[in-house]
Amino acid sequence: MYDGAFPLALVRSKFAKIIADHVNCKFAKRNGEVWIKSNRYMRANEELMVCYTEDPCYWKTIFSDDQLQQMKMALQSCPPTLRDAEQAIAALAV
C-alpha cells in the first residue's frame, strides 16, 4: 500500500484530478478497527493507493520542511501531468 497522493498533495489544487484518479482506496473504521476500502473495482495484483493524510504531517516525519518546500516548488513550476511531476521530483536531490 502506498500514498497515492504524495507528493502531488503538496500542490493539491493543481493535481486534484490526478490524485482522484490515482487514489483507489480509503481508510474506513469498522467495529473499532481500521480497514482499507476500495473506491472502485480492483483488478488482481493492482496496487492499493490511499491518501495517508490531507496535510503533509505524516511526510514531515520523513522529510525536512526544506525538502518538502523544494518538492512543492518543483511541482508548482512543472506542467500538471503525472509524468512531469515525477520528473520534477526525480530531479531533486532530496
Buried b (16+ CB within 10 A) or exposed e, 37-47: eeeeeeeeeee
Residue 1 has a pLDDT of 65
Give pLDDT tens digits for 40-87: 999 999 999 998 887 778 899 999 999 999 999 999 999 999 999 999
Rama region for 49: left / alpha / beta (φ>0; ψ in -120 to 50; rest): beta
Alpha-carbon span 52 to 76, nearest angstrom: 21
Residue 5 · residue 23 · CB < 8 Å:
yes
42: its cell numbers: 480492483
Which pLDDT band, with edges at 50, 70 and 90, does 24 fall under? Answer: very high
